Chain A
Amino acid sequence: MIHSLFLINHAGDIFLEKHWKSVISRSVCDYFFEAKEKAVEPENVPPVLQTPHHYLISIYRDKLFFLSVVQTEVPPLFVIEFLHRVADTIQDYFGECSESLINDNVVTVYELLEEMLDNGFPLATESNVLKEMIRPPTILRSVVNTLTGSSNVGDKLPTGQLSSIPWRRAGVKYTNNEAYFDVIEEIDAIVDKSGTTVFAEIQGVIEASVRLTGMPDLSMTFMNPSLLDDVSFHPCVRFKRWESERALSFIPPDGNFTLMNYHVSSQNLVTIPVYVKQNICFFETGPCGRLDITIGPKQTMGKTVEALMVTIHMPKAVLSANLTATQGNYSYDLTTKVLVWDIGKLNSQKLPNLRGSLSLQSGAPKPEDNPSLNIDLKIQQVAISGLKVSRLEMNGEKYKPFKGVKYLTKAGNFQVRT
């Protein structure tokens, strides 16, 4: 299946290679570099490339390319999903997935890759299994290891590897037992010039942070499960229970994980928390344009809208912006042509406004297109769909855990066309 993996940085240097079968020369990456050159933007490099003898499947994450080489038929998503899992694991181990961190921990990364695939087929991808085999580096451990000469490598088969719940290791112990859940909903919307909603939907995710001793068996019920239209679960969730009772019943992995993703059924009208009045125009005569944006609350369910931010990708011809904001700060990046207006809290008494002039490159024709506005916002303590967790129970262990559910609404892909 997966033959080799190359990690390539933004500049196009290969800084790590791993082969699970015989060695493939790194010159195979030249085809990739060619495509990368052609694509201009790294996001536009085709994830699957065909070369005379190999197929190259790559992902772009955290400014790094994970490029895998395969020789025979394999479902491309299989490889892509695996590569993302590699990136996730690296992030999980070292806090972030960056070239310098990988270079600092090159041996650990290499060992991880060795464990994750055998002959190109995934062997252990669950983070808790890996962590039992190769312990993540901590300062304390590295000190202890240098003193005692003990190793970072486990000599026993991780318990998860054999059990029917590979995501949880045995013998978890905490002094403070706690289970926290964040219900985070994102509004994806396209609002057109006149302010009417072209398309809107709510995507939600339940992120969990569970630190419980032993083998707790949790079950979570919702006040209004009928809101949930489409769901996907962490493997720990028992699907039958969901089908029959609309309750999430699971033995959680230890630590942080995504319990569930969901889509709110499209029958429900999506509440759009803010409205945007905008006017961006470029004049035919003279190298300038005008910009005027006002944001106001629409349906906020009685909560304050926070962390409001507007991002605009300006046309190439816009040289600079001379604007005044009644609230918050704005910045205009000359190289990327991105205008960012960081507003902060939305004050419904005094609506934030940004207005001023844009200067264009002299001689350039008036830009044909009007840029669209990307809105970012947060509303604490509410899930915009109205989803509510009604109960969280724990079976299987005797102690009383701390439990908590937090709600948060964010803007996902919230776009206002102009």
Chain B
Amino acid sequence: MCSSLRHDDLKEMLDSNKDSLKLEAMKRIVAMIARGKNASDLFPAVVKNVACKNIEVKKLVYVYLVRYAEEQQDLALLSISTFQRGLKDPNQLIRASALRVLSSIRVTIIVPIMMLAIKEAASDMSPYVRKTAAHAIPKLYSLDPEQKDQLIEVIEKLLADKTTLVAGSVVMAFEEVCPERIELIHKNYRKLCNLLIDVEEWGQVVIINMLTRYARTQFLNPNMNESFLEEGSDKTFYGSDEDSDEEEEDKDKKAEAPMVKRKPYVMDPDHRLLLRNTKPLLQSRNAAVVMAVAQLYFHLAPKAEIGVIAKALVRLLRSHSEVQYVVLQNVATMSIKRRGMFEPYLKSFYIRSTDPTQIKILKLEVLTNLANETNISTILREFQTYIKSMDKDFVAATIQAIGRCATNIGEVRDTCLNGLVQLLSNRDELVVAESVVVIKKLLQMQPEKHSDIIKHMAKLTDNIQVPMARASILWLIGEYCEHVPKIAPDVLRKMAKSFTNEEDIVKLQIINLAAKLYLTNSKQTKLLTQYVLNLAKYDQNYDIRDRARFIRQLIVPTEKSGALSKYAKKLFLAIKPAPVLESPFKDRDHFQLGSLSHLLNAKAGGYQELPDWPEAAPDPCVRNVEVPEWTKCSSREKRKEKKVDKPFYSDSDGESGPTESADSESDSASGSESGSGLEESGSGSESEESEEGSESEEEVEKDKKKKKKIELKKPVQVSESEQSSEEEVRKHERKNKLRKSVSESESDDEEESKSESSQSESEDSESEAEVKKKKKAAETKPPPKPVKKECKKEKKEMSLLDLDDFEPTPSPQATPLNSFLSSSLVNDLEGLSLSDAVLSPAAISPCSALKSYELLHRITGDGLCVEYCFSRQPFPPDANMVSVQMQFTNNATSDTKNLHMEDVKLQSGMRVNEFTEIELLPAGETASAVMGIDFCDSTQAANFQLCTHRRKFFVSIQPPVGELMRPVFLTENEFKKEQGQLMGMNEISEKLTLDVKCRNEHAIVQRVITAANLSRVPCGSDKECRFGGRTVTSGSLVLATVSSREDGAAQLTVNCEKMVIGTMLVKDILLALTQ
């Protein structure tokens, strides 16, 4: 009653239209769920709020929904449409969470919807959404395994994804859905190896485990020739018994397949790649990653290289006790096969009194495995202190460990035995009992020598109560009754007396003892035996009754008893082989180490067997990929280099970060060096290079540096190189500053000087970039790919044709006046050149008519008139600034002095480079100056005061959105590719009707280029005009397309990572085209 009342009150709160009440209610409901209380009756009330505007309420509703949807399927369906809407939201977080929740609702009816959503999300431009899609795959699979084939397609697609964010999740999906489809990995193998270091730690674990399995199917056993080639050294390194056994086996195998063995083993470069790329992860802070790498090395590396993992594993022993527990289990298994590896760390396994018992016992296990002739004395001394411990379970384990050392190492057997016998007088019964059990096993090896020990033990039966120990003593006496002929019958007498009070295990041994004595010494023990057997006949335990009946038939000769009784003596007193005391961890390595199955020593559900090495390696070509993108280093690798830290900065510009599309991200991470040229060319030379790359990373790196430098020298490829050179410039500045502050910086060596030289070069070239562009293009240079070559040729022709004639000789300082003057010429020129089918975009862009704006009217300015325009030239002191050309005209009658600017007020992030002060502007004269403003890709105004020697004027410069970008060179293919990456919310299109005067291609191009500082991208169709550019500050790509029809109807499409810029640009271009 009470609870339903309370729920009513919650329902009321949920129905209210106040968000705060709803939130309060949802919090209480979620708290109920968290505590495991049932809140399912609130489902209808809660599900209504699924579309709530308040994001926190919404999130909590999602939480609720996921928890109870399974129970209330029909009602849950009501919410589906909300998620479907969410899947199309421009915010990637909302898309992702919609998919997350949708796929978490375990309602079979929506399987098709989920499938569709996953497919769509798998090609989403946000890597985060794609990651979510990868997570959704196993969810759908567990809901409906029938979907497997379709899901595999999605997995295949996502496996090809190049972002680190997706890699871990999709491999996880692969492992859950189709771990047997190992062939899907081939093409992605090298990429995964190379991305590995950048993947988040959890993904690393999954990928490494999967790659271990993969490698086992694809490569040859690196140790197959080991015994053959380095037999001698092997012995000294790993002089363990097991190892020599192994060698023996190896030899046998060798005899079977001599051909295979003879062949010298050469490691597949891909195998090497895996080993090399995983090794740094041994230094991970995450124990699971370290363990994953350790097992990979254990299962895949050549013997000589496995040693590196020991150190890392020993380090984990400092971690939480649960981590120790798992690590020690694995070390125990490894130390059986590879004892040598852990021997140097013997002391790290010494036990402290504060260790939990389970840890102590595992350490003991490892110590025992590591014991050999040389270290046994130290180990035994250590064991001796352990025996005094208060922890009795641990003491018992120590005694067993001593027993194992004694059986394994002959030299110390007697010492151990004596030590154990001493323990028989220990005050603690458990210690004694355990010792008895162990001694029994040891004695079995050489009974004749130790009859006094057996006598001593016989005496113990009076005191010792532990059943196992009593049973052991009885067995010993029975087995070796010849050695103690006098005592044995006496013991039996005592036992017969206490028979009914004994434990079952002891009773069985009493029967055994009786039988054996009857056979050897029937005179003295016949009656006793009969008595014992009679007692046993009526025992409660059927085992004991059975045993008694069986033994009676066997030993007591009757008429009926058959042939067997003749052999009774042989049966009972046969020489029994001594037990081998083995580690419980022996042979556990047939399970993949680090796995749950290994820990439990039983196959867990979903465990994938670790395959045996193949006899002959499968074709390695399957891993060849046309695009050798794995030669690019991943971003983490790059982070390791000091000078190339681009990804940080490109990632750090807050806004663009989350909306970055997959490829632009990976490009910004790696593209700066390799350039776009690499990606499309799958030519032979490239792949050769990549082959080398797999051998030595350094080479690749050097290569990249070279490439980078090359690119720095050619500003023609504005898109990539300009950006990186900007970085360099910034970096350069920073470094210079550092130089000043830190007088001696040792680490900066020649590498830096190299980069500096290239920087200065790039700086130079940048300052003249625009002007020189055409010229430089004309310079001969081996182009990276044929497509570019073509473009350049065209450009060359172009520039030879016209521009060189018209453009003034390039001067280092951009002189904007020139462009003022020449603009009319250029316009003419444009008319000429535009008739050409294929255009060089770079040639057009700077030449479009420049619109000038008024900064200060001559009336308000006391005769001083200031106009400004965006000169569309790069601003040399800072490439992130838009250069603003200002023209001052003094219409007053007197001179104006000291023209300068002051009190600059800017939005955060914006910067201004002030123009140099104009000292004197005589009356009637005109002067010009250039200033730079970094608008931070926004259209916010830069406010400042313009000061003369007399007055100050408040002025502001607000850029049209079209001036916040600069042209970029793209080929048609590149354009299409980039556009493909900028779909969805990054694409804005508008329909329009073209202005009457603007129906031809030329006019369209001109108008667009006037409205925005873009360059034309060549295009096959004349119905379509394409333009490309990048924003000045962040370098985000801006693509515009105008496709027109005969009747003047047209469609304008703008793709831009920055949505605000995109929307504004659409408006501006629209205006330009319609008026």
Cβ of B516 to closest chain A Cβ, rounded Å: 36
Asked if B70 and A261 make an inter-chain contact with CB atoms under 8 angstroms apart, the answer reads: no
| B contact residues around A106 at 8 Å (CB) | 30-31, 34-35
Give the docked Cα–Cα distance between A23 and B169 (Å): 23
Please indicate which of the listed interface residues A16, A121, A217, A393 has the most CB atoms of chain B within 10 Å of its own CB.
A121
11 contacting pairs across A/B (C-beta < 8 A): A44-B357, A73-B595, A77-B287, A80-B326, A111-B60, A111-B63, A161-B128, A230-B315, A233-B283, A235-B201, A374-B354
A114 to chain B, nearest CB (A): 6
Instruction: Say yes or no: A415 contacts B36, CB within 8 Å.
Output: no
The reply on A208 being an interface residue by CB < 8 A is: no
Interface residue? B447 (CB, 8 A)? no
CB-based contact A47/B654 at 8 Å: no
Q: Which residue of A lies closest to B608 (CB)?
A: A73
From B27, B348, B358, B658, give the contact of A107 (CB < 8 A).
Answer: B27
Does B389 sit at the interface, judged by CB under 8 A?
yes
Among A75, A146, A219, residue most surrounded by chain B Cβ atoms (within 10 Å) = A75
A365 touches B427 (CB 8 A): yes
Contact of A249 among B132, B597, B635, B642 (CB under 8 A): B642
Considering residues B106, B136, B647, B651, which has the most beta carbons from chain A within 10 angstroms of its beta carbon? B651
Stretch at the interface among A149-157, A272-280, A325-333: A149-157
With A44-B358, A119-B139, A263-B315: A157-B284 Cβ-Cβ less than 8 Å: no
Stretch at the interface among A165-173, A289-297, A347-355, A378-386: A165-173
**A187 interface contact, C-beta 8 A:** no
Residue contact B645 to A151, C-beta cutoff 8 Å: no
Q: Mark B865-881, 1 if CB is under 8 A from A, else 0.
A: 00000000000000000
Is B737 touching A398 in the complex (CB atoms < 8 A)? yes
Question: Could you tell me if A198 and B350 are in contact, using CB atoms closer than 8 angstroms?
Answer: yes
A239 to B164, CA, bound (A): 18
- Selected from A192, A365, A395, the residue in CB contact (under 8 A) with B385 is A192
Q: How many A residues face the partner with a CB closer than 8 A?
A: 112
Q: In the bound complex, do residue A239 and residue B283 qualify as a contact, i.e. CB atoms below 8 Å apart?
A: yes
Q: How far is the CA of A75 from the CA of B597 in the complex (A)?
A: 9
Q: Indicate the member of B36, B169, B290, B291 with the most A CB atoms within 10 Å.
A: B36
Residues of A within 8 A of B27 (CB): 107
How distant is A177 from chain B, measured CB to nearest CB, in Å? 15
The reply on A37 being an interface residue by CB < 8 A is no
CB pair A73 B605 closer than 8 Å? yes
Q: CB-CB contacts of A46-78 with B at 8 A, as 1s and 0s?
A: 111010000100111100000000111111111
Q: Which of A92-100, A240-248, A299-307, A401-409 contacts B (4 or more CB under 8 A)?
A: A240-248
B398 to A: closest C-beta gap in Å: 12
Known A-B contacts: A77-B291, A393-B738. Give 14 more (CB < 8 A): A44-B356, A75-B209, A75-B595, A84-B320, A106-B34, A119-B135, A121-B169, A122-B200, A155-B55, A161-B128, A163-B652, A199-B348, A219-B747, A313-B354
Residues of the B chain whose Cβ atoms lie less than 8 Å from the Cβ of A90: none
- With both beta carbons as reference points, the residue of chain B lying nearest to A414 in the complex is identified as B352
Q: Given A165-B648, A199-B347, do A77 and B600 touch, yes or no (CB 8 Å)?
A: no
B925-954 near A? 1/0 per residue, CB < 8 Å: 000000000000000000000000000000
Select one of B56, B169, B354 contacting A153, CB under 8 A.
B56
Closest CB of chain A to B365's CB: distance in Å?
Answer: 15
Tell me the minimal C-beta distance from A106 to chain B in angstroms.
5
Measured between beta carbons, the chain A residues less than 8 angstroms from B636 are 164, 238
Q: How far is the CA of A146 from the CA of B56 in the complex (A)?
A: 13
User: What residues of B have a CB within 8 angstroms of the CB of A122 in the complex?
Assistant: 200, 202
A313-B353 contact, Cβ under 8 Å, with A82-B202, A118-B135: yes
The verdict on B762 contacting chain A, using a C-beta distance below 8 Å, is no
Nearest A residue (CB) for B104? A119
Whether the Cβ atoms of A123 and B315 lie closer than 8 Å is no
Q: Complex: how many Å from CA A70 to CA B607?
A: 13
* Interface check B479, CB cutoff 8 A: no
Closest beta carbon of chain B to A7's beta carbon, Å: 9
Of all chain B residues, the one with the shortest Cβ separation from A233 is B283
Q: Taking the complex as formed, is B165 at the interface, i.e. its CB lies under 8 A from any CB of chain A?
A: yes
Instruction: Give 8 nearest A-B pairs by CB, closest first.
Output: A240-B640, A72-B606, A151-B56, A238-B640, A163-B651, A43-B356, A157-B93, A73-B607
Kindly state whether residue A376 has any CB partner on chain B within 8 Å: no
User: Are A165 and B350 in touch, CB under 8 angstroms?
Assistant: no
Determine if B608 and A190 form an interchain contact, defined as CB atoms under 8 angstroms apart: no
Q: List chain A residues, Cβ under 8 A from B605.
A: 71-73
A154-205 residues at the B interface, CB under 8 angstroms? 155-157, 159, 161-166, 170-171, 190, 192, 198-199, 201, 203
Q: Which chain B residues lie closer than 8 Å to A58 at the CB level?
A: 322
Alpha-carbon separation in the docked complex, A84 to B132 (Å): 24
- B668: nearest chain-A partner, CB-CB: A164
- What are the interface flags for B960-972 relative to A under an 8 Å C-beta threshold, 1 for contact and 0 otherwise? 0000000000000
On chain B, the residues within 8 Å of A123 by CB distance are: 135
Chain A hits for B320, CB < 8 A: 59, 61, 80, 84
Task: Write out the residue numbers on chain B whose beta carbons fall within 8 Å of the beta carbon of A315.
Answer: 390
Q: List B residues 47-99 near A (Cβ within 8 Å).
A: 54-56, 59-60, 63, 67, 70, 91-93, 96
Q: With A415-B352, A417-B385 given, is the CB distance from A241 to B164 under 8 Å?
A: no
Q: Pick from A47, A238, A393: contact of B322, CB below 8 A.
A: A47
Which chain B residues numbered 295 to 321 have a C-beta less than 8 Å away from chain A?
311-312, 314-315, 318, 320-321
Q: Which residues of B contact A372 (CB under 8 A)?
A: 353
Q: Contacts A164-B636, A190-B350: A230 and B198 contacting too (C-beta < 8 A)?
A: no
User: Residues of A contacting B67 with CB < 8 Å?
Assistant: 19, 23
Closest to A23 in B: B67
Alpha-carbon distance between A374 and B352 when the two chains are bound, in angstroms: 10
Give the one of A16, A78, A201, A261 with max B CB within 10 A: A78
B106 to chain A, nearest CB (A): 6
Once the chains are docked, how many angstroms separate the CA of A89 from the CA of B449? 63
